[in-house]
Structure 1
């Protein structure tokens, strides 16, 4: 009984394991590379926004601070970071689509 199950299963894996592993590794590799590229681009954009924000005049920064724009920009940046991470993780196969 077990021999009737294991022999065809072994033949299946023997003939198809290379294709399965190749497909899995290429999908994971492409996902990791795309996540790294998106993460690097996001970090560059965030650093640029910080440098532009910090280059404002002192009076303008004080008014912006009173209005709470810094906290709002932090919330937006956090939401964007979550979206990038969540989208990338579903492409990597860590989370279901």
Structure 2
């Protein structure tokens, strides 16, 4: 299975995977409006054993098969180590 990945020009670190190149009609209108213009960034083969940096490839394949698209949101910010309690009074 192939995926065509597009970056939202309006929402930072938000990507859309499409089952077919430039198949923007698969996206619900409210989602298209929120994402704004999309820029093509990657054509990727989602073969078994393939890993992706921030997404589960099995979930991406399932969404592409069921809906024709997969939405990748920005990463959730981690805990800031400068604000953790390190057990010191300093």
TM-score with structure 1 setting the length: 0.21
Q: Which has the higher strand share?
A: 2
Determine which structure has more spread, i.e. the larger CA radius of gyration: 1
